[in-house]
Structures are given as C-alpha cells and as structure tokens.
Homo-oligomer: A and B are copies of this chain.
C-alpha cells in the first residue's frame, strides 16, 4: 500500500499485542475482562500503562482523582497540549476493548511518534481517566467530570462502593492517589477513539463512525414503598408488595423504549431490595432507570409515560412510587470542525466513514464543554459490549489508531 504524502501509520501488530497483554489483567474465563475502577486489577493495569508510557518517552503525572497524564513535550513547551484518552476500568461483565482500546491506540500513537523521532509543535498528552464506567463507584465519567469541574473533587473522593470503600481510600490502596492538582491543564483539543457498542457500523459496512452528537438520556431512581409482612400468614388481599410494584414498573419501562423502535432505549438495570430475605414481603425497592432518544421531545414524552406508569401502578398494586431524576445528558452536538478533521483524516486513509450518534456517555462528553473535542468509533464485530463477547478485529483497531495518529499530527504540527 502506498503511503500518501504526509500520512503516517501505526504498527498494528504492536497495538494488538498491547491490547491483548493488558487484557490479561482481570481476564475472565470467557475471554472478557473484569477490572473494576480502582480495584487491584485496575491498579495493575494502570501501573503497566505508566511503565509503557515512560518507555515511550512520556513523563507521567497522576492527579488527585487518579487521572493519569502521559505527556510528550512539543517544541512549544508551554502551549496547550493536544490530548487523547479514554479509560482502563470495566464493568463486571466487561470485554477487552471498551475504554482500553482508546488508551492503547493512544499509546501506539506515542510509541510511533517516538519511533519516528518526531517532535510536534504542541505537546501531546495521553490521558487515562479514572472510573468512566461508574460500575463500582457512581457517578460515571468521574475522573473527566472532576477534571472539568462538573463534579467536586471532595464529593468524588467520598463516593463509596457497596462494601463501603471510598474512592479516596481505593486510590490510596493501589498507589494512584496522585499529588498533582485536578484540572488547570489547557488542551488545544481532545480526541477519543472507542469501539462502537452497538451494531450500526458492522451492519452498514463503514470502518469509522464520526460521532456528531448524542442521544438524550434522562436517569431516575424510582422508590417503591410497600409494607413488610410475613410471607406466609399475610393474605394476598392484605399485601403491599414493593417488589410486585417494581416488577410492573420494569415491564412498563421496557415497553416505553420498545415502542420507539430503533431510536428508543429504556433501562432498569440496577435494583436495591429491602429487606431481601425469604421470610418477608418486600418493603422497599429502589430502581435505577433511564429513558433515551435522539430527540429531546421524545425523551419528554417517554418521561411523561414513565410518570403515568408510576401513578397507575402505585394505585393498582397498593404501593407508593416516587420518581426522582438524578442525572441527564445530551442531546449533545459535537464540534463540527473537529468532526471535519476526523472525516478528512479517514478519507485520506481511504477508510469509509459515516456519521453516528452515541447513546452512551464517554469521557469525551464532559470534555466537550472544556475544549474542542472529537469522538469516533471503530466497528464492533459482535455488536455487543459490556460483555465477554465484545470484539473488534485487529484491522479495525489499526484503522482507528491510524486516524488518531494523523489527526494528532495535524492538530499538533
């Protein structure tokens, strides 16, 4: 293959090897990865990343929320860096690509720059953001959101996991409670590549998905209250079973998303049940749920249906239901000039591309308000993520890293 003038290419084999090697940390029997944020496994992956980054000529800094910045100086030492990044943590049922692919693609960019002996005008920084998934510690995109000031540092450090360990304590245990202050680093631009977490690129055959915007997502906690009572002698007609109310609500939530076809999403993936013992009718259920759609008006309508369902189910099932919104994101419009840069870079590399929306949040989402940002996807072979079956081919991984490398060169030169 002819390399067009001004186009550089990464070492795809080296990228794939790095991805597979770091994927052994927290590897599951089925070939996936369980590397919860700030766990011992996450600590080992972060340590390996730091070593690799230093070997690639970077200086490594860790801030107080554990974000890792691997920096390659430019000729203009004090100029704002071109930043790239993603995350190393996974959900409990994670795969070997979500997040870590973006970090390893960034590492390959750093390695290639070193190999080429190329000093860019602007510094280049590769960032590992702490706790993107929010699976162990809520909320998600924690490190990037603290970095941008959307979440207070103290608040984040005091969040705790189900066993009571705080973020601050977990950072200390793995030796990643850094001394650098959070925020204050200026970025010229931020680039993130990620595996697509759905089937669209695979279905339509393009190799790069340029994220032009996001779905709108609205998140709620539904608190369903019934009355604890003995499961045996309590007559069915006397009961106020919070789990029966919650179950009716889960089915309604599922229906609300399905009724919008391929643009609708609705979830009720997290449940807390009290007292959750075999002898007692459930007294209280807390159900985390969300509705998503590209169109804000549709999200409003979905929420209205959800609130009506809560009202009706409470009446029918003899329970009380309170619905409280706790988070919202989107619809986001990404930076057009940044997307044009990604699009042109893909074109130069002869990689068919399409515009795509992201349904999930990513570290790029909070960063979008902070500096010009681009987010782009490579195809998923299986169309599934947060699952051991998550898979992207070596070729597609190489494609994304090539786009990243050349976009960085354009921005930093």
When the two chains form their complex, are residues B251 and A244 in contact, meaning their CB atoms are under 8 A apart? Answer: yes
A33 within 8 A of B: no
Known A229-B386, A359-B232: A91·B258 in contact at CB below 8 Å:
no
When the two chains form their complex, are residues A277 and B283 in contact, meaning their CB atoms are under 8 A apart? Answer: no
Q: Mark A92-115, 1 if CB is under 8 A from B, else 0.
A: 110000100000000000000000
Known A230-B385, A385-B229: A278·B197 in contact at CB below 8 Å:
no
When the two chains form their complex, are residues A275 and B92 in contact, meaning their CB atoms are under 8 A apart? Answer: yes
Number of contacting residues on A, CB 8 A? 71
CB distance from A167 to the nearest CB of B (A): 16
How many angstroms between the C-alpha atoms of A247 and B133 in the bound complex? 26
When the two chains form their complex, are residues A230 and B279 in contact, meaning their CB atoms are under 8 A apart? Answer: no
**Residue positions of A touching B, CB distance < 8 A:** 91-93, 98, 133-135, 138, 140, 196-199, 215, 217, 219, 227-238, 241, 243-244, 246-248, 250-251, 254, 257-258, 262, 264-271, 273-283, 288, 290, 292, 358-361, 383-387
Query: What are 23 A-B contacts defined by CB distance under 8 Å?
Result: A91-B277, A93-B228, A98-B230, A133-B277, A134-B279, A135-B278, A138-B278, A197-B230, A197-B233, A198-B234, A199-B235, A215-B232, A228-B386, A228-B387, A230-B360, A230-B384, A231-B269, A236-B262, A246-B247, A269-B276, A269-B277, A270-B273, A270-B277
A227's contact among B219, B273, B281, B384, by CB below 8 Å, is which? Answer: B384
A278's contact among B231, B257, B269, by CB below 8 Å, is which? Answer: B269
When the two chains form their complex, are residues B197 and A234 in contact, meaning their CB atoms are under 8 A apart? Answer: yes
Q: Which of A134, A276, A277 has the most chain B CB atoms inside 10 A of its CB?
A: A277
How many angstroms between the C-alpha atoms of A358 and B233 in the bound complex? 7
Q: Which residue of B lies closest to A277 (CB)?
A: B135
Cβ of A258: which chain B residues have Cβ within 8 Å of it? 236-237
